[in-house]
Amino acid sequence: MSGTPPPTRVPESAAWSPDRRGAPSSVLAGITYDPRHAILLLEFRDGAVYQYFQVPRQTYGDLLKADSQGTYFNRHVRRAFPCARLHPAAHSGTARPQPAV
């Protein structure tokens, strides 16, 4: 994707959100948001880790509160913001769908 910022590590002080409001997600294993840089860091259940850039704080809050975080991600984050993959999915015997990059 042209114009995509290079991956920027979320500071070590940013912890995975322990507050998983809404339904448990079958897609997302961890969610972190860096409000200073407007970066949403998502860890998927398959082990892939992606950063989404220029994400408003409201989008992060709405994701946490969504009845289905996977559905919210697909509708409001996946193709709406530039992203970079930080860690590939774990390899297994079955193919798993990957987030759009």
pLDDT tens column, 45-99: 898 999 999 999 999 999 999 999 999 999 999 999 999 999 888 754 444 444 5
Give the C-alpha distances (Å, rounded to integers) separating 20 from 9, 62, 64, 95: 22, 11, 6, 27
What number is the average pLDDT over the span 32-54?
A: 93
Give the separation between CA 74 and CA 45, rounded to whole angstroms. 15
Give the C-alpha distances (Å, rounded to integers) separating 3 from 47, 52, 84, 100: 26, 13, 11, 16
Residue 76 lies in a domain: yes
Residue 83 lies in a domain: yes
Residue 70 lies in a domain: yes
What number is the average pLDDT over the span 33-47?
A: 92
Lay out the sheet containing 49-52: strands in order across. 28-34, 39-44, 49-52, 83-87
Residue 33 lies in a domain: yes
Which amino acid is it at 60?
Y
What's the whole-model pTM score?
0.68
- Tell me if residue 50 falls in helix, strand or coil: strand
Number of domains in the chain: 1
Residue 3 lies in a domain: no
Q: Which residue range is the domain that position 69 belongs to?
A: 28-87
